[in-house]
Amino acid sequence: MTSDATPDPVVEPVVFGQRMQILRTRRGMSRTVLAGLLGKSPSWVKQVECGRLQMPKLPVILRIAEVLRVGDLADLTGDQSMSVAMFTGPGHPRLPQVRAAIDAFPLASRHPAPSTRHLRARLVRAWQARHSAPNHRDVIGALLPELIQDAQLAVLQADSGRERRTAQGLLAEVYGLSQFFLAYQPDPALLWRAVERGMVAAQESEDPHVIGVAAWLATQAHRDSGHAHFDAADAVNLATLRYLEPFLPDAGTDVLAITGALRFEAGYTAARRGDTGTAWRYWDTARAVAERLSGDYYHPVTSFSRAVMGAHAVTIAVELHSGPESVRQATAADVTAALPSRPRRARHRIEEARGYQLDGQPEAALATLGKAYEAAPETILYNGYARRIVLEESESRNQSQRRRASELAVKIGMLAA
């Protein structure tokens, strides 16, 4: 029986070029856009997809997988011996318990809800633990099941409209904490349930800061879903910035910070699109907000602060695929000591490593990934960019680079010891 359906490259025996075309089309990406992100010409992309050029070498394959957000390298190559998870980390042992807490319906527990003051104190401690832990999913994964249930109970048992709005704000924050646990794990549907429930709870809270945080998290979830979702990321982000604008003249510190964080996210998405001018313009507007904050302020969810703007500059340059500018920004603002969050420091090191890789300095990239591992091993484990660099360099012709990459791959569980 004939069919007009698009073949599934995961299960059907199609060649590399066809797989690349199918995966590109699913992402809603044109050949021109893919070519620009790869540093190639549209005609090169067409020739690969049409089979007139052979499957490229591993470094290019890894770059294609990164741009197309391929979950497993084998989905792109068709070679099951190259089955390597790219942008999805392993399922955490605590994932089933967190999933059960999020999916529980109706809420069967009848024990009295804790006070909103008690819930707030627990959330403060949870965020502090998340930032200080080298393996933050271990820590927050243990806390989340009870936090989710208790925050839901607080909403259900609220005695007044004001108390209910406060409880909704706390519930939204719990769902936000859940998203840090769920990100890059093999259950995207669960992540999206947390995103959407967090947005609903935030809206019910009527709290501008809570609404801003939920939008910040939703923006990231849309953008991480791939090029076809960038418009959705911008829609949520820019609408929330418009909503926050009237509050800014008299805004407290947290509302200012989430506004700055959202402005940067708009620049981040623009950089992923390859729009240099817009990306740096939003970075500038975010920096202007950061300058209104005290030097020791650090937003507990987004990490927004004066110090983080240097790290954000590296991210913009990397997403624009400018190796020299990435390295320049990293050199100009060594902010790792000023970032109190271990996962955030590790992520910044990974961004620096990407910059060194783009600049043709693989040894420096691997050394920087080693520093990221020291800060927070789990962050590398779940980061597709770090995994791509390690995998690529483990195939290097340079014996020293190959050895260092292989040692790091063993540490983070990509290769057997």
What the block records as the tokens of 64 is 């294609």
> What mean pLDDT do residues 284-290 have?
97
Position 84 confidence tier, pLDDT thresholds 50, 70, 90:
low
Exposed e or buried b for every residue in 56-77, given b needs 16+ CB within 10 A?
A: bebbbbbbbbbbbbbbbbbbbb
- At position 75, the amino acid (one-letter code) is D
What is the per-residue pLDDT for 392?
Answer: 83
Better pLDDT: 11 or 135 = 135
Looking at every residue in the chain, the average pLDDT score rounds to 89
CB atoms within 10 A of CB 398: 12
What is the per-residue pLDDT for 354?
Answer: 95
Q: Before 93, cis peptide (omega within 30)?
A: no
Residues 218-270: tens digit of each pLDDT: 999 999 888 889 999 999 999 999 999 999 999 999 999 999 999 999 999 99
Using a 10 angstrom Cβ sphere, with 0-12 exposed, 13-18 middle and 19 or more buried, the burial of residue 225 is: middle
What is the three-class DSSP state of 72? strand
Res. 2: pLDDT tops 70: no
Please name the helix (run of DSSP H) or strand (run of DSSP E) that holds residue 45, with its range, or none. Answer: helix 42-49
- At position 205, the amino acid (one-letter code) is S
Q: Which domains are delineated in the chain?
A: 16-82 (1.10.260.40), 90-206 (no CATH), 340-417 (no CATH)
Position 14 confidence tier, pLDDT thresholds 50, 70, 90:
low
Residues 330-339: tens digit of each pLDDT: 998 777 678 8
What is the per-residue pLDDT for 11?
Answer: 47
CB atoms within 10 A of CB 123: 19
Residues 88-125: tens digit of each pLDDT: 667 899 999 999 999 999 887 778 999 999 999 999 99
Distance between CA atoms of residues 327 and 94, nearest Å: 37
What is the per-residue pLDDT for 65?
Answer: 83
For helices 42-49 and 31-38, angle between their N-to-C axes, nearest 10 degrees: 110
What is the per-residue pLDDT for 131?
Answer: 95
What is the per-residue pLDDT for 217?
Answer: 98
Better pLDDT: 327 or 61 = 327
Report the Cα 316 to chain-centroid distance in Å: 14
> What mean pLDDT do residues 142-170 have?
97
What the block records as the tokens of 242 is 């418009």
What is the per-residue pLDDT for 376?
Answer: 94
What is the per-residue pLDDT for 415?
Answer: 59
Res. 12: pLDDT tops 90: no
Give how far Cα 38 sits from Cα of 223, 267, 276, Å. 18, 20, 16
Asked if residues 167 and 154 have their Cβ atoms less than 8 Å apart, the reply is yes
DSSP string for 205-257: HT-HHHHHHHHHHHHHHHHHT-GGGHHHHHHHHHHHHHHHGGGGGG--HHHHH
Alpha helices in 68-107 (DSSP H): 73-77, 95-103
pTM of the model: 0.83
Residues 6+ apart with CB under 8 A from 240: 211, 212, 215, 216, 262
Better pLDDT: 86 or 191 = 191
What is the per-residue pLDDT for 404?
Answer: 92
Position 83 confidence tier, pLDDT thresholds 50, 70, 90:
low
What is the per-residue pLDDT for 23?
Answer: 87
What is the per-residue pLDDT for 79?
Answer: 73
> What mean pLDDT do residues 314-323 have?
94
Residue of 254, 290, 247, 251 lying closest to 124 (CA atoms): 254
Dihedral over Cα of 18, 24, 30, 33: its sign = negative
Conformational region of residue 158, where left means phi above 0, alpha means psi within -120 to 50, and beta covers everything else: beta
Distance between CA atoms of residues 9 and 13, nearest Å: 7
Out of 23-27, 49-53, 345-349, give the one with best mean pLDDT. Answer: 345-349
